[in-house]
Amino acid sequence: MDVLTAARLQMAFSLGFHIIFSCIGMTIPFFMAYAEWKWLKTDNTVYKDLTKAWAKGIAIFFAVGAVSGTMLSFELGLLWPEFMKHAGGIFGMPFSWEGTAFFIEAIALGVFLYGWDKVPKWTHWFSGVVVGVSGLASGVLVVAANSWMNSPSGFDFIDGEYVNIDPLAAMFNDAWFSQALHMSLAAFVATGFAVAGLHGFYLLKNKDNEFHKAAFKIALTFGAVAAILIPISGDHSAKDIAVRQPAKLAAMEAHYHTEKGAPLIIGGIPNSETKTVDYAIRIPYALSFLAHGDFNAEVIGLDQIPDDEEPPVIVVHFAFQIMVGIGSLLAFISLIYFFLSWRKKELIYHPLFLKVITLCIPLGYIALEAGWTVTEVGRQPWIIYKVMRTADAVTPMPGIQYSFYITLFVYSFLSVVLIWLMKRQISAIHKDYPILTNKEN
Amino acid sequence: MLEFIVLVLSIAFFFYTLLGGADFGAGIIELFTGNKSIRPIYKAIAPVWEVNHMWLILAIVIIFNGFPPIFAQMSVSLHIPLFIILMGIVLRGTAFTFRHYDTHVDGTHVYYHWIFRISSLLTAVFLGVTLGAMMYGRIDNDPNSTFYLQFIAPWFNYFCFSVGIFVALIFAYIASIFILGEAIEAKQVRFYGILAKRFSISMIIVGSVVLTLAYLYEVPFLSLALSAPISWAAFTGATILLPLIWRGINKNQLQLIRVFVALQIGLIMLGWAAAQIPILIHMKDGNHLTLYNSVAPDATLYYLTIALVVGSLSIFPSIYYLFRVVKFKSE
C-alpha cells in the first residue's frame, strides 16, 4: 500500500468513525432537553428517567467523539502536512470558533450530568439546550471548514503562493451553507431513526413499556421532520454542485457525455471503458432539470474533465445512489409516521411499523457515510479543489499503512466495546421498566 | 494581536498542564497504587474530565490556525511520538469514561483499569518527549537524509525521554496534590501526602538528570536558560515553593498547597518559556521556527483574535460556574 492510499484510508476511516459520534452528540441533547421539558411540564417521572438515560448515553458517546475529534485535528497535520502548512491560516478560522463551541458543550454537559440536584430545575434544562446548540454549532463550523476545500475562497493563488488571505471569505465560501444545512439535517435523520429503532426493538417485546414508548415517539418525531426536509436541502446542494464542481456531479450521476436534456441515471454499473452505464434506469430530461432547473439545460459530463482530474466514478456513483435511495426511503416512512400520528394514533406502535423502524437503525448512518464519500471522494484528486492535489499534500513519512492498521484496530475494538456497553446500559433501565413479554402482560 | 494570541496559547497550555496533567497523573498514580485510588480520583476529576481536555484542542487550533508551519513541522518530524500520544488519548479517554459510566462494577473493569493506567503513563511520557524534541535541536528537513535521521533521531534519545519522565512525574505530583484538596478521609490525606512528597523528590532527581543530559548533548535550551534572568528567577521561585508545599502538606493546609503548586507549575513553565521563546522548534540547520517567522498573515491573526476574545469571555465564566456547581457546592 502506498503512502497516499494509506493516508486517505486512515483519514476516511477516522472521519467516518468520528462523524457517527459527533452526529449523536449534536442531536440527542435536543431529544434529551425535550424529554426534560416534558418532565418539568407534566411531572411524569418516565420523562425524567428517559432524560437521565439519554444523558448517560451522551456522556459516553461525547467522550468517544471528543477523543476521536482530537485525533482528527492532529491527523490533519500528521497525514497532510503540506496542506495544513498553507491552508491552516486560511481555513482555520471556523476551527478556532469550533474550539469555543466544543468547550462550551463540554462545560454544559458537565453541568447537566453533575448538576441534577445542585442547580435550579430550569437552569438544568437550559444547560441541556446549551449542550445541543453548541454541539450543533461545532458541527456547522467544522463542515464550513470542510466546504472550503470544495469551494476554496478568501485568498489568491499566485505563482504557488497563497496571498491576500481573507479568513472571513474563506469561511463563508459558496459551499458552506448547503453543506452545513445538509449535514445538520442528516445528523437528525440518522440519529432520530437509530434511537427510535432501538427503543422500537424493545417495544416489539413489550408494547406497553412507557419508557420506550416515550423515547420512541420523541426520537422518531425529530428524525421524521428532518427526513422530510432533507430532500429539499439535497436538491439545493445538487444545484450548487452542478455549477461549482461539475466533475463531482458528473461522477455522482456517472454522466459521461455532456448533453442537453440529460437523463437522470438511477442505479446501474458505470463502465469507464465504454463510458456507459449498464443496467441503469433512465428518466429523460430529469438530470438537467434537477441540476439546473431547466429540462433542456446542458449538463457537463466527464468528457469535459481532463483525465487526471477525474474523480473515481464508480465509488462516487454508488455512494450517491445509496445516499439518495436511503434518504428517499426514510422520507417516505416519515410521511407514513405523520399520517399515522394524525389519523391512526394507535398504529404507531403496531408491530409492523415498529419492525420497519427497527430495520432503519443503521440506514441513516449508512446514508451519512455514503454522503461524505460523495463529498470527499467526489473532490479527488484535489485536496483543495483546483488548487492543491491530495498527492502533493501527503506526508513525506513512509509506512503510513501501519498507523492505518493501528487506527483501524483501535477504532474497531472501541466500537465493539461500545455496543456491549450500551447493552448493559439498556438492561439497567429494564430494572425500573421491566420488559415483560406481551403474553405475560 | 500576536501578543494576545500567545497569551491565550500560554493560558491554554498552563491549564492543560494543571488540569489535564492532574488527569494523566491520576492514571499514573493508579498504575502504581492500584484500585484503592479509583474512588478519590473519580471524586476529583470525573465532573471536569471532559473540560480538562478541551484545553489541548484549543491550543492545537491556535497553533494550526495562527502558526501553521510549526504544526506542519511537528506533524512531519514528530509524527511517531504524536501518533503514540493520540492513541494514548483515545484509549485512556474511552477507558476512563466507559468504566465511569458503566452500570455496575464487575470483572471486565480490570481491562479498563489497565488500559487507562498504562496509556496515561505512555501519553504523559510522550508529551514530554515531544516537548524535549522541540528543545533538542535535531529536527531535520533534509529530504535526502535517512528515515532514522528524519523521523526517529529528533526524539528517540536520552534527553527527550528524560524530559518525558520529568513531565510524567510533574503530572503525578499535580494529581496527588489535586486529590489531597478534595474532601477525603484522614487516612487518605496521609497516603497522598506521602505520595506528593515522593513525586517531588523524584522530580528534583529527574530534573537534574534532564539538565545533565542537556549539558552532555549540547541542547541549545540549556545555554539559553542560563543567559535568561527570568528563567533563573522563575526556576528559583519554583524551588523555594517546594519546602513551603511540604510544610503545607504536614499542616493539612490542603487548599493552600493547591494554589502553591499551581504557582509552582506556572513558574516552571515561565522559566521554560523565557528561555525558549520566541523559538518554538530548534532545527538542526539553525533555521529555527519562531513565533515571528511562523506566524500566519495579519488577516488570520485578526480573526483568530476575535474568536479568542469571544471564546475567553464565554469559556472562563462558564468554567467558573461548572467548578462552582460540581466542586464547591458538594463540600
Q: Do residue A78 and residue B83 have CB atoms under 8 angstroms apart?
A: yes
Q: Is the pLDDT of residue A175 over 80?
A: yes
pLDDT reading at B46 higher than 70: no
- A positions 87-116 inside 8 Å of B (CB): 87-90, 92-93, 95-100, 102-104, 106-111, 113-115
In this prediction, residue B330 carries a pLDDT of 46
- Residue B331, pLDDT > 50, answer no
The model's confidence at residue B328, banded by pLDDT at 50, 70 and 90, is: low
Q: Is residue B95 over pLDDT 90?
A: no
Residue B183 pLDDT > 70:
no
The rounded mean pLDDT for chain A is 90
Nearest residue to B52 (alpha-carbon basis) of B114, B120, B98: B120
CA distance A273 to A436: 59
Write out chain B residues lying below 8 Å of A109, CB-based.
50
At A214-260, the pLDDT tens digits run 999 999 999 999 999 999 999 999 989 988 999 999 899 888 889 88
CB–CB contact B62 A63 (8 Å): no
pLDDT band with cut points at 50, 70 and 90 for residue B326? confident
Does the distance separating the beta carbons of B56 and A88 come in below 8 Å?
Answer: no
B115 grid coordinates: 488500559
Residue A437: what pLDDT? Answer: 53
Report the residue of B1, B90, B122 to disrupt the A interface, i.e. the one with the largest count of A CBs within 10 Å: B90
The C-alpha cell 428518466 sits at: A283
Which three-class secondary structure state does DSSP give residue A390?
Answer: helix
Cβ distance of B56 and A70 shorter than 8 Å? yes
Which positions in chain A touch B66 (Cβ < 8 Å)?
Answer: 89, 92
Q: Above 80 in pLDDT, residue B39?
A: no
Q: Averaged over A262-275, what is the pLDDT?
A: 85
When pLDDT is cut at 50, 70 and 90, the band that residue A57 belongs to is: confident
Q: Which residues of chain B make contact with A103, given a CB cutoff of 8 A?
A: 51, 54, 57-58, 311, 315, 318
Nearest residue on chain B to A90, alpha-carbon basis? B300
At residue B237, the pLDDT reads: 93
Which residues 140-179 in chain B show a CB within 8 A of chain A?
143, 147, 150-151
Q: Do the chains contact at B75 and A118, CB–CB below 8 Å?
A: no
Query: pLDDT at position A281, please?
Result: 87
How far apart (Å, rounded) are the C-alpha atoms in residues A419 and A57?
Answer: 11
Average pLDDT over residues B150-159: 92
Which pLDDT score is estimated for B324? Answer: 84
What pLDDT is attached to residue A198?
92
- Give me the interface pTM, i.e. the ipTM: 0.88
Interface with A, mutate which of B15, B43, B48, B57 (most A CBs under 10 A) = B57
What is the structure's pLDDT at A441? Answer: 44
| Chain A positions in Cβ-Cβ contact with residue B72 (cut-off 8 Å) | 77, 81-82, 84-85, 88
Any A CB within 8 A of B329 CB: yes
| pLDDT higher than 80, residue B43 | no
| Residue-by-residue DSSP string for A336-351 | HHHHHHHH-GGGGG-H
Residue A208 has pLDDT above 70, yes or no: yes
Q: Do the Cβ atoms of B87 and A406 come within 8 Å? A: yes
Q: Do B50 and A421 touch (CB under 8 A)?
A: no
Domain ranges within chain A, ordered by starting residue: 3-432
Domain that holds residue B28: 2-328
State how far residue A85 is from chain B, nearest Cα, in angstroms.
Answer: 5
Provide the number of structural domains found in chain B.
Answer: 1
Residue A181 reports pLDDT greater than 90: yes
Query: Could you say which of B150, B299, B325 has the minimum Cβ distance to residue A119?
Result: B325
Among the partner-chain residues B66, B90, B143, the one whose CB lies closest to the CB of A396 is B143
Look at A70 and B314 and tell me if their CB atoms are within 8 Å: no
Q: What is the mean pLDDT of residues B67-87?
A: 93
Please report, as a single letter, which amino acid is at residue B284: K
pLDDT tens sequence across B186-240: 888 888 888 899 999 999 999 999 999 999 998 888 888 888 899 989 999 999 9
A-B CB pairs within 8 A amount to 212
pLDDT given for residue B141 in this prediction:
83
Whether residue A40 is predicted with pLDDT greater than 50 in this model: the reply is yes
Nearest CA in chain B to A168: B303
Is the pLDDT score of B51 beyond 90? no
**pLDDT band at residue A436, thresholds of 50, 70 and 90?**
low
Q: Residue A235 contacts by C-beta under 8 Å, 6 or more apart in sequence?
A: A290
pLDDT of the residue at A17 = 93
pLDDT above 70 coverage of chain B, percent: 96
Judged against a pLDDT cut of 60, whether residue B162 lies above it is answered with yes
pLDDT digits (tens, 9 = 90+) for A304-317: 889 899 999 999 99
Set of chain A residues whose Cβ sits within 8 Å of the Cβ of B104:
424, 428
pLDDT band at A334 (very low <50, low <70, confident <90, very high): very high
Average pLDDT (A131-147) is 93
Using CB atoms, which residue from B48, B76, B297 is nearest to A395? B76
Q: Which residues of B touch A106 (CB under 8 A)?
A: 50-51, 54
pLDDT at A34: 94
Tell which wins on pLDDT, A115 or B118: B118
Q: Does B42 touch chain A if contact means CB atoms closer than 8 Å?
A: no
What's the pLDDT band for A118 if we cut at 50, 70, 90? Answer: confident
